[in-house]
Amino acid sequence: MQSDFTFSIIKPNAVRTGKTGPILSMINEAGFEISAIKMVKMTLSQAETFYEVHRGRPFFEGLVEFMSSGPVVVMILRHENAIDDFRKLIGATDPAKAEPGTIRKIFAVSVQMNAVHGSDSFENAAKEADYFFSGIERF
């Protein structure tokens, strides 16, 4: 489905190693407009809620532990066809399979620590944006 916004997270590994600026710069150069942004540190239980759809998968526990291990940058990004275009900009989940020049290819250190999250559908983008941002925090 077409959508004019998506939701993204710069994951703890990337924030911790000083990649926030370079990643924001790539997002900016690709033409996405930041319509909400802040830094948060999720509790384990908040990360579990965010990744609820993956509960039961073999990687779930490691993932939520990782995502609550340090601050992340959460944002709402505007662009025509935002969801698909942003997934193209970040590349495949597994950085080994990501296209050259994608954010994950450049900044991921493993499948788990793959630098960024991008919503996979309009419904999830709306839900994820609402999970982190109140009305007065988005423009």
84 near Mg ion (CB under 5 A):
no
Nearest-approach distance from CB 139 to ligand IDP, in angstroms:
25
120 near Mg ion (CB under 5 A):
yes
In the bound state with Mg ion, the residue whose beta carbon lies nearer, of 20 and 124, is 124
**Cβ atoms 12, 120 nearer than 8 A:** no
Nearest-approach distance from CB 63 to ligand IDP, in angstroms:
5
Active site residues: 117
Taking the CA of residue 16 as centre, how many other CA atoms within 13 Å lie in the half-sphere pointing to its CB? Answer: 15
In the bound state with ligand IDP, the residue whose beta carbon lies nearer, of 97 and 137, is 97
Report DSSP state, residue 85.
Answer: H
From residue 102 to residue 131, what is the string marking binding to ligand IDP with x (rule CB under 6 A)? ---------xx-x--x--x-----------
Burial class (CB in 10 A: 0-12, 13-18, 19+), 118: buried
Report d(CA 56, CA 137) in Å as an integer: 33
Please provide residue 9's backbone torsions phi and psi, each rounded to the nearest 5 degrees. Answer: -130, 130
Looking at residues 2 to 41 of the shown chain, list those that interact with ligand IDP (rule: CB under 6 A): none
